Amino acid sequence: MTAHPRPDAQVHFGVFFQGVNHTTIWSDPASGSQIDFETFRRVAQTAERGLFDAFFLGEGLRLREQDGKILELDIAGRPDAIAQLAALAGVTRHIGLVATQNTTYNEPADLARRLSGLDLISGGRAGWNAVTTDNAWTGENFRRGGYLDHALRYERAGEFLATARAIWDSWRDGAIATSQQSPSWASADAVSPVERSTDHFQVSITPTLPRSAQGHPVIFQAGDSPTGRDFAAANADVIFSRHGTHFDDALAFANDIRARLRAAGRPEDDIKILPGTQIVLAEKESEVEEKVRWVKNGQYTGQTTLSLAGQVWGRDLSHLDPDGPLPKEDPEHRPISETRGAPRHGQDPHAIAREWRARAEAENLSLRETVIATTERSGFAGTPAQVADELARWVRQGAVDGFNISPYLVPTGLDEIVDWLVPELQERGVYRTEYTGTTLRQHLGLREPLTRRS
């Protein structure tokens, strides 16, 4: 695998406050509320103290279910991202504020205006994680119901982004008066109407908001299929990838994105790649393994283990001992439901059961240990010095530009990273010692928005 050496590259950090998940250890005594504003404020301000680029909110449009019932084990209930980030804009000064918003179940005129509002009130710190959805389960929330055909979801997303950018570009530079002695607040030709007619949208609008200091909200994208990667190469500023576990895999992904950028006529460094990751730190090397075990046992409780296994087996397994053997019966002939997320959706339950049994027999594992062992979580574990060395290697060899960190505990899960890991990175000269810009685009070292380049 060909490395892409960048001896002066800096590590970028974001914090990912997930939308729906079982990996945040909500049951620990140190865990705070998952919905109170105080929790979000604490995490955002800790990240800003650690000079992070962005605070990133996930989205959950529907509560997860299992066997037709609401799953009470997963954390849910995230407030509307734009409303939450607008509140955080008032208690932070530098950190970027990224909202996950769906292109399938929103409309461009409305969402572009709300994102523009966040961008303005935060002084140019807004970002948009533009996600697509094609499943009927989520679509049942909405008036038109059903779902968007899989082949059309990126087509709609592309038209959505083009329309949003046209709305953001509708106000010309220098349109607003800079002095109270000016004859009017805005010039007569300050804004141009936007008229667009596409297969997915009919838009006629005179936008109400001028651009922010960064021009457009920064566009994040997370699709990993070939179509998703092409979409990112044509549209995104940042990729939130799943390639954050193995160095060679991350480097292969980065090289593929660089090739797609060149094919799209963009510089190969025009997108920042920030895989999602979890970081577990211990002060001594002898304590690392125990700390990792504590985190995993907190994430995969007995109830969660039986719920995840029950999805594979297609039946209620709550009567079993999670620390006992795997079920003796074979799975029922039922597909794994998409309502619990994507990791095993579409896979053959019988194939998963065979894999689990082989692993459990070979390593003498309990059901819970098998679920943990076969569910690979991206991340790094070690002492602060060890992890700092590894993160620096990934960035300086061109595998990634940084990491979007999911704390396993909130609101205190970033404290060790900010207090222990950030100073180690700074000592190595691979992490900023102060914010040098005021906008999210500046923090990330991005160029002008695509439609604003000469």
pLDDT in tens, 52-105: 999 999 887 878 877 778 888 888 767 899 999 999 999 999 999 999 999 988
pLDDT at position 148 is: 72
DSSP 11: -
CA distance 347 to 360: 20
- DSSP E strands in 4-68: the ranges are 12-17, 54-57, 65-66
pLDDT at 326: 97
Low-confidence residues of the chain: pLDDT under 50: none
Spatial separation of the C-alpha atoms in residues 395 and 402, rounded to whole Å: 6
Q: Is 319 assigned a ligand-binding role in the annotation?
A: no
Contact between residue 343 and residue 20 where contact means Cβ atoms under 8 Å apart: no
CA 305 from chain center: how many Å? 24
CA angle centred on 379, ends 373 and 385, rounded to 5°: 125
Work out the burial of residue 391: count CB atoms within 10 Å of its CB; fewer than 13 is exposed, 13-18 middle, 19 or more buried.
buried
At residue 317, what is the residue type? L
100 is in an annotated binding site: yes
Q: What is the pLDDT of residues 389-443, one digit of tens each?
A: 999 999 999 999 999 999 999 999 999 999 999 999 999 999 999 999 999 999 9
Q: Which one-letter amino acid corresponds to residue 327?
A: P
Fold type of domain 12-284+380-452: TIM Barrel (3.20.20)
Supply the pLDDT for residue 159: 96
Those residues whose C-beta lies under 8 Å from the C-beta of residue 2, and which sit 6 or more positions away, are: 251, 255
Residue ranges of domains in the chain: 12-284+380-452, 301-374
Tell me the sheet residues that pair with 186: 176
Is 150 annotated for ligand binding? yes
C-alpha closest to that of 343 among 376, 297, 305: 376
Tokens 């577990």 appear where? 280
d(CA 315, CA 286): 41
